[in-house]
Amino acid sequence: MKIQPKTEEQVKRAWPLLPDGDYPFTVLESTEQASKSAKNRGKMLFGVKLNVHGKDGDYHVYDYFADWFSEWKLRHFAATTGQIKAYEAGELNGDLNAFAGKVGYVTIKTEPASGNFAAKNVVSDYVVREEAPVSEQPPADDTDVPF
């Protein structure tokens, strides 16, 4: 395979990041997986790969949440993706890409660089957007048009 060699400086350049803010997203992949942390090893959590739709293109952002870890994100994720009834029933299934194709809104923040790791976008929360309220008034009678 033919490749384009790069200098050490070129490969150390950080990937472009989304500015902090709220963005629409589509779930690309989802899993139910066991935590690998020493404190909570084996506890189940949801993992999602999001395609976050920025003004200048799409960005992939990974997130993890559960009812024992970032529980506010779990509820808000369910609400923004139209799954709040399943959440409230205690039956949210994210196994084997069950969330793939779900859409919603997400708040993105920038996590600063640390040690050998570059700065990266992270999910701060999921945004539940209200639908426009439905008017209680009947529609105007526009059958009496003056032309």
3-state secondary structure at position 5: coil
pLDDT of res. 72: 95
Q: What does DSSP say about strands 57-65 and 44-54: parallel, antiparallel, or unpaired?
A: antiparallel
**How is 100-113 classified by DSSP, letter by letter?**
TT-EEEEEEEEEPP
Give the pLDDT confidence of 86-125 residue by residue, as tens digits: 999 999 988 889 999 999 999 999 999 899 888 999 999 9
Helix (H, G, I), strand (E, B) or coil at 65: strand
- Rounded to whole angstroms, the Cα distance separating 31 from 23 reads 22
Mean pLDDT of 128-144: 52
Question: What is the phi/psi pair of residue 18, to 5°?
Answer: -75, 140
**H-assigned helices in the chain:** 8-12, 71-80, 84-88
Please report which confidence band the pLDDT of residue 147 belongs to, taking 50, 70 and 90 as the band edges. very low
Helix (H), strand (E) at residue 31 = strand 21-34
How many CB atoms are closer than 10 A to CB 69? Answer: 15
Average pLDDT estimate for 117-144: 69
Q: How many CA atoms lie within 13 A of 55 on its CB side?
A: 6
Supply the pTM of this predicted model: 0.79
